[in-house]
Structure 1
Amino acid sequence: MNKEMLTYFKENGFQELEIISENNIFFRNLYFLYFKANKFKEMRSFVGDPESSQQEFYVYFDSILVQFRAMILDRVLDKGKKQYIYTERYSFQNYLIRNNKEVQFKQLEKFLDSQFLEKIEKKGDTEEIFTIRKAIKRITDKYICHFEKDTENYYIEDHLVNPYSEFYILKIINIVLEICGFPQIELKND
């Protein structure tokens, strides 16, 4: 990890700097998530301005979603022990498991499995709640990575880019950061 990254973490309230060196790649990814999120929130004022391009806004939005998806959608279940296990991936879940933070791990999983809006998803004859985890996975997989035609993605995106929605992507990220014990991203009052 370079000096700029370590300085950023020191200046932004990270108390456990020894953990940073042990989880170097995870914290490198976390640093870039903070960096992108801060750029993204600065661009909020450009949305709807006919004089400015929204292209850079959506480049950062897509990049945040893909990185956040990679950092939160990782859980490997050991079916024999009926518990989640540590893998070599650099996710929030693995960071928590590796650092013996089981309570926070369970809080994170509960939050990610909470309902996204009032949406219900049909699977055959059954209905399931549409979770935050599923919303992030769907929009990144079908809208960013594969460019599939899916009108649901616009519905999801409308909430993720809206700072007044409880499902604004930076609010979701802040909840995850809070659960993990990391400083939150300061949000503007638009």
Structure 2
Amino acid sequence: MKQSTKIIIDKSLLSKKKYYHFIKRVFDFCASLLGIIILSPLFLVIALLIKLEDRGPVFYKQKRVGKDQREFNMFKFRSMHVDADKRLAELKKQNEVEGPMFKMKNDPRVTRIGHFIRKTSIDELPQLFNVLRGEMSLVGPRPPLPSEVKEYTDYDMQRLLVVPGCSGLWQATVRNSVGFHEMVQLDLEYIQKSSIWFDIKILFMTIKILFKPNSAY
């Protein structure tokens, strides 16, 4: 990604988008509830495949940071071995992105079914429950780990001015092909341009990824 001009979010303009935020919350609630109902057969199949591979838990719960630095438990289908968190320290030196975020293309902690559900972003589907509860939105910046936020600059902190999302401009476009700073830039670009139509566009881009995966791993 080319060098971009730094984006400073005007908080007063954000607070004036009351109609947008109301419509977005209503849409998030209805769409996530409908999605959970429609996708329940897929949930059952993925749960069975995860369970059959290593008999471990189906879901993975992880502490994340949302709007205004409020912490919550984010849900995902488990795509890694059960001891993944304990093995993270030994892999830190192999981190493939700069900044306070860990990414490794050939992460040895990922299970066989995990490779598939991460590539297609199916592992993210349980976050619909987070959306239903209001902790996340369908579209927004990726919710960071508390350890990542500790390394944030004031500029990076702007990502936490809005409700985090299951998908967003970064997730639906370049994803793991860029580093942390480029991700922040894309998130801030989204926040600055946020609108109902922009959200819908990103959702369609996200659906496309299910059939034609991008650089997710």
Name the TM-score, length of structure 1 as normaliser.
0.29
